[in-house]
Amino acid sequence: MPTPSVDIIVPVWNSPFETRACLAAILEHSPGARLIIVDNGSSRETGLMLEEFSESLGDRALFISSDRNVGLVPAINIALSRSDSDYAVIVRPHVMVSAGWLEALLAAALTPRAGIVSPLFHGPGAPGMPAMTRGCTLIETFYVSFSTLLIRGDLHMLLGRFTEGMDSGEWCLKEYVRRALARGYHTLATAKISLACGQETAFGSEQRRRETTAESKRLFQAQWGHQHEYAVYFDVESTPEVLEGALEVILAGARRGHRFTLLMHRSQAAECKRRGWNGLHTGIIVDQLPLLMPRRALTRRIAEIRTTAPESILVRGSEGYGFPGIDGVPALTDLAPAFTTGIPAELTPELEACTDDFRNSFTAG
């Protein structure tokens, strides 16, 4: 199999010492990859360092500069527009890559229908990521970070840019993940590598970032709807065949950003673990009820869920069985159409209108 081509995108705003260390680590641990370095309105000191660093690499680096900070997402977009490799990997300067990091991401990207791959992170600036199932090294997820992110070349060419005008994190990435899913691509996290993250430098005021986040959430929900928490109970009589059919529906919902707590009896939880169903997606959690007095435990767990997540929706996982002690609980089959029907691949006019073309702000080096 031929070695895939890789572009590593590094958007930079100041922090010259941290950035140089990041770039040096990338060079050491990423043989054969090309760097696309974006100077996003940095100080003169940082800009000169980046220019000298890029010139020393010749054809192995592409240097792009902007006179002003146009935002993280537009900077990434202009770099992606210059990437024609099999894979593009975004690395922020507060991240230190290490031996084997790129190989781990590329191996995960070989998974059928994988379009986006994230590593795990550690350190003071590590982004919040859902916990992976113990013993699981590769799992689908809905939550990723710009700290480090692999994107298939054919995917970003198909989808185009990240939506500018949204935030530089959670909601912009969720929107991209949903567009990728609409085109048949899945998003994964690999536990084969964990990258160290320092604290990143925030741009703009905290109030402005809060306002942007709130508006980004509104735009996302206008396009893709709301995300919900579900607590799904499976009656003790539920067979492996029933579980398998239910998990197909639940996985489709998790891929759309919903989160599921599966309340299962001991034998059912064991069957899920045996078949690997407990490691399908970070949005699916198997909660095993005890063998002794499971109904009492179920009542207690429902009370806990209603306290910690009061908007959670109770669901019957098995058709024909009730939810103990609670009437009127919908069955999973009632919700299935919302998880499995087609989803729009195009942006709403409002979301499209919020993007701006910053490309004229850049000059390629």
Supply the CATH classification number for the domain 229-340: 3.40.50
Q: Residue 201: name the closest of 9, 7, 11 by CA.
A: 11
Confidence band of 320 (pLDDT split at 50, 70, 90): confident
Phi, psi angle pair for 313, to nearest 5°: -105, 125
The SS3 of residue 360 is helix
86-142 pLDDT per residue, tens: 999 999 999 999 999 999 999 999 999 999 999 999 999 999 888 888 889 999 999
Paired with 108 in beta bridges are none
- Paired strand residues for 65: 39, 363
Tokens 């910053």 belong to: 358
Amino acid at 58: G
Q: Which residue has the higher pLDDT, 28 or 337?
A: 28
Distance in angstroms between the alpha carbons of the first and the last residue of the chain: 33
User: What are the residue boundaries of the structural domains of the chain, listed by start?
Assistant: 6-219, 229-340
Calpha distance 333→336 (Å, rounded):
5
Let me know: does 107 contact 191? Beta carbons within 8 Å: no
Model confidence pLDDT, tens digit, residues 31-53: 999 999 999 999 999 999 999 99
Cα–Cα distance measured from residue 243 to residue 80, given in angstroms and rounded to the nearest whole number: 41
The domain defined by 6-219 folds into: Spore Coat Polysaccharide Biosynthesis Protein SpsA; Chain A (3.90.550)
Residue 365 reports pLDDT greater than 50 = no
Per CATH, 6-219 and 229-340 having the same topology is answered no
Task: Give the model confidence (pLDDT) of 166-195 as tens digits.
Answer: 998 999 999 999 999 999 999 999 999 999
| Distance between CA atoms of residues 164 and 178, nearest Å | 16
Two structure tokens written together for 171: 């909601």
On the question of pLDDT at 357 being above 50, the answer is: no
How many Å apart are CA 365 and CA 357, to the nearest integer?
20
pLDDT of residue 131: 84
pLDDT tens digits for 193-251? 999 999 887 777 889 889 999 999 999 999 999 999 999 999 999 999 999 999 999 99
pLDDT value of residue 134: 85
Tokens encoding 36: 């696309």
Task: Work out the pLDDT band at 165, boundaries 50, 70, 90.
Answer: confident
Q: What distance in Å separates the CA atoms of residue 247 and residue 222, rounded to the nearest whole number?
A: 27
The mean pLDDT value for 143-155 works out to: 97
Let me know if 270 is exposed, middle or buried by CB neighbors in 10 A (0-12, 13-18, 19+): middle
pLDDT of the residue at 342: 54
Task: Please state the length of the chain.
Answer: 365
Question: Does residue 358 carry a pLDDT above 80?
Answer: no
User: Six-digit token pair at 347?
Assistant: 């942006």
The residues, any chain, with a CB within 8 Å of residue 363's CB and separated by 6 or more, are: 64, 65, 66
Give yes or no for residue 351 having a pLDDT over 90.
no
Q: Is 113 helix (H, G, I), strand (E, B) or coil?
A: coil
Nearest Cα residue to 321 out of 339, 304, 333, 306? 333
Nearest to 96 by CA among 36, 23, 46: 23
Q: Apex CA 319: angle with CA 318 and CA 320, to 5°?
A: 110
Element (H, E) at 25: helix 16-29
pLDDT averaged over every residue in the chain: 90
pLDDT above 60: residue 288: yes
pLDDT at 324 over 90: no
Residue 347 has pLDDT above 70, yes or no: no
**DSSP tag of 145:** -
Q: Is the pLDDT of residue 359 over 80?
A: no
Closest CA to 162 of 356, 6, 5: 356
The average pLDDT across 275-293 equals: 94
The residue assigned the tokens 């998003």 is: 187
Which residues does residue 12 pair with via DSSP β-bridges, in sequence order? 39
